[in-house]
Amino acid sequence: MAVPHSHAARIFGERVRSARIELGLSQESVADLAQMHVTNLGKIERGCANPSLHTIVRIAGVLGVDVGHLTDGITAAHLPEELQVFSAAEFLRARSMRR
């Protein structure tokens, strides 16, 4: 089985799967309604894909949920270490300390 792309992707995928199952829909039905291939939806649900914003919005629309429902609480801390980012506040604080 493939390893999740990131903790963020895994959380997002679990929420997509949960919403889909709650509606009693198959992956095929959701993928068809979202105008995407079912294998891509499967990868998203397993956390093995990094969907574009347009794909996320389409999936949320099909599931009848707000995008925020699928992404709530997912932060930069959920990204893999190599993708960690500094906040603007951290950058400004470091820059002011160098002066």
Residue 25 token pair: 């829909």
Q: What is the dihedral of CA 76, 18, 27, 10, to 10 degrees?
A: 30
Q: Which of 22, 30, 31, 16 lies closest to 8 in space, CA to CA?
A: 16
Mean pLDDT, to the nearest integer, of 61-88?
Answer: 91
Residue 12: the pLDDT is: 98
pLDDT reading at 79 higher than 80? yes
Residue 1: the pLDDT is: 58
Residue 5: the pLDDT is: 78
Cβ pair 31, 37 in contact under 8 A: yes
Mean pLDDT, to the nearest integer, of 67-89?
Answer: 89
pLDDT in tens, 8-38: 999 999 999 999 999 999 999 999 999 999 9
pLDDT reading at 91 higher than 90? no
Structural domain boundaries in the chain? 7-98
Q: What is the pTM of this model?
A: 0.85
CATH class entry, domain 7-98: mainly alpha
